[in-house]
């Protein structure tokens, strides 16, 4: 929608031919954005070759854990010199790779051909054309500027950044902190507790970023604090809602069954913890989320353990 509103010709791929046909004939996507009229200039197709043909930008947005498999199939179809843009906010399980790393590896393209769009961008609010800002990150600033121009509209304001590592970590770790805040919310905890999780969550994100060569200032920007605030305060966030259901006492199976869309933090909390361990970084909130979501630790027990850690200085 944003690209079409910005004047681009958009070819949208989806797995289901019937849904692509509905989008083309009704100008709406009733399964994902009911009641929203899509702009002219979007053509949907279930044929990836048709979607990829001649594209200046190939925008990738599937669940993070399926990207490698999807992109391997699409690689022969990509237009020469196309810039691959990731909208995904996850870290791959097993490899602990960021999405731009998976893209470079699978598509065999240099970092200069890969950009990331991230920031406080809850889909339903964007679809309602409510004002929002975002970050386009690429190691090549000129490439980031090209995509910035391609997606700038009166309601969508993208900034550029060359710190791809920081921008991607901000997007992936905020989902884990969103789960933690949701759990606190579901347990009936108040705003002091949630503000503590957000602030200390940002501290552990920044520690990981520093260890991985990111610019610490990125984390006080849209990809860090901005997205953290949106995710941790909105019931529209799938990660936040997932955590709230767990905190209210639903089992993991019940919570998964109640979640219709992708809550990236559920899988990425494990890969973020993997990254932290590889880089020797302490991420106690992430560790707590993993223990609740994957090891079945009752939230009340995990909370007690988190609060009884040894005393520390705020900044180390």
Ligand X SMILES: O=P(O)(O)OC[C@H](O)CO
Partner whose binding site includes residue 178, from ligand X, ligand NAD, none (CB under 5 to 8 Å by kind) = ligand X
* E strands present in 155-300: 156-161
Distance in Å, CB of 264 to ligand X, minimum: 6
Catalytic (active site) residue 297: no
> How far apart are the two ends of the chain, measured CA to CA in Å?
44
**Under 8 Å CB-to-CB from 208, ≥6 apart: which residues?**
169, 173, 272, 275, 276, 279, 281, 283
Q: Min. distance of Cβ 293 from ligand X in angstroms?
A: 14
In whole angstroms, the minimum distance from the beta carbon of 221 to ligand NAD comes to: 16
The reply to whether 15 sits in an annotated binding site is yes
| Min separation Cβ 316 and ligand NAD, Å | 30
119 labelled as ligand-binding? Answer: yes
Q: Angle at which helices 191-211 and 164-186 pack, to 10 degrees?
A: 150
Is the CA virtual torsion 158, 163, 13, 238 positive or negative? negative
Q: Cα–chain-centroid distance for residue 54?
A: 27
Interacting partner of 61 out of ligand NAD, ligand X, none (Cβ under 5 to 8 A depending on kind): ligand NAD
Of the residues 40, 75, 174, 260, which is catalytic?
174
Partner in contact with 247, chosen from ligand NAD, ligand X, none, beta carbon below 5 to 8 Å by kind:
none
Q: Which two tokens stand for residue 117?
A: 């769009």
Report the DSSP beta bridge partners of residue 98.
91
DSSP string for 84-96: EEE----B-TTT-
Residue with Cβ nearer ligand X (239 or 244): 239
User: Among residues 262 and 299, whose Cβ is nearest to ligand NAD?
Assistant: 262
Give the shortest CB-69-to-ligand NAD separation in angstroms.
Answer: 7
Question: Please, which residue, 11 or 245, has the CB nearer to ligand X?
Answer: 245
32 in a known ligand binding site: yes
Nearer to ligand X, 78 or 232 (CB): 232
304 is in an annotated binding site: no
Residue ranges binding ligand NAD (CB under 6 A): 15, 32, 61-64, 66, 70, 87-90, 121-123, 261-262, 264
Helical pair 265-278 and 191-211, crossing angle rounded to 10 deg: 50
Secondary structure E strands in 105-250: 114-118, 132-137, 156-161
Rounded Cα gap, residues 220 and 170, in angstroms: 10
Q: Catalog residues that contact ligand X under the rule CB under 6 A.
A: 89, 120-122, 175, 178, 227, 230-231, 237-240, 264
Q: Whose Cβ is closer to ligand NAD: residue 104's or residue 302's?
A: 104
Structure tokens at 204: 């552990």
The response to whether 159 counts as a known ligand-binding position is no
Q: Give the contacts of 90 (CB within 8 A, at least 6 positions apart).
A: 63, 64, 65, 99, 172, 175, 264, 267, 268, 271
According to DSSP, the β-strands at 114-118 and 132-137 are antiparallel
Q: Which does 230 bind (CB under 5 to 8 A by kind): ligand NAD, ligand X, none?
A: ligand X
CA dihedral sign, ordered 185, 287, 254, 66? positive
**Which of ligand NAD, ligand X, none does residue 239 bind (CB under 5 to 8 Å by kind)?**
ligand X
Residues annotated as catalytic are: 174
- Binding-site residue numbers are 15-16, 32, 89, 119, 123, 174, 227, 237-239, 264
- Binding-site residue numbers for NAD(+) are 123, 238
């Amino acid at each position: 929608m944003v690209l079409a509103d910005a004047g681009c010709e958009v070819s949208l791929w989806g797995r289901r031919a019937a849904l692509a046909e509905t989008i083309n004939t009704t100008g709406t996507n009733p399964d994902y954005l009911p009641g929203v009229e899509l702009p002219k200039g979007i053509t949907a197709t279930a044929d990836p070759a048709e979607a990829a043909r001649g594209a200046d930008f190939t925008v990738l947005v599937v669940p993070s854990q399926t990207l490698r498999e999807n992109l391997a199939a699409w690689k022969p179809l990509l237009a020469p010199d196309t810039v691959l843009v990731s909208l995904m906010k996850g870290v791959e399980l097993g490899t602990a790779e960021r999405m731009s790393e998976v893209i470079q590896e699978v598509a065999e393209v240099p970092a200069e051909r890969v950009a990331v769009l991230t920031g406080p961008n809850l889909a339903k609010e964007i679809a309602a054309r409510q004002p929002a800002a975002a970050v386009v990150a690429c190691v090549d600033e000129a490439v980031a500027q090209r995509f910035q121009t391609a997606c700038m509209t009166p309601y969508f304001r993208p900034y550029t950044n060359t710190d791809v590592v920081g921008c991607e970590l901000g997007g992936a770790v905020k989902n884990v902190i969103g789960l933690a805040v949701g759990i606190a919310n579901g347990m009936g905890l108040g705003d002091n507790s949630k503000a503590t999780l957000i602030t200390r969550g940002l501290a552990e994100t920044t520690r990981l970023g520093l260890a991985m060569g990111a610019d610490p200032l990125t984390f006080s920007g849209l990809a860090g604090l901005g997205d953290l605030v949106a995710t941790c305060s909105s019931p529209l966030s799938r990660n936040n809602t997932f955590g709230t259901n767990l905190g209210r006492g639903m089992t993991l199976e019940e919570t998964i069954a109640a979640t219709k869309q992708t809550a990236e933090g559920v899988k990425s909390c494990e890969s973020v913890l993997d990254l932290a361990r590889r880089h020797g970084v302490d991420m106690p909130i992430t560790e707590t989320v993993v223990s609740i979501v994957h090891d079945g630790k009752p939230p009340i027990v995990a909370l007690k353990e988190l609060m009884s850690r040894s005393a520390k200085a705020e900044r180390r």
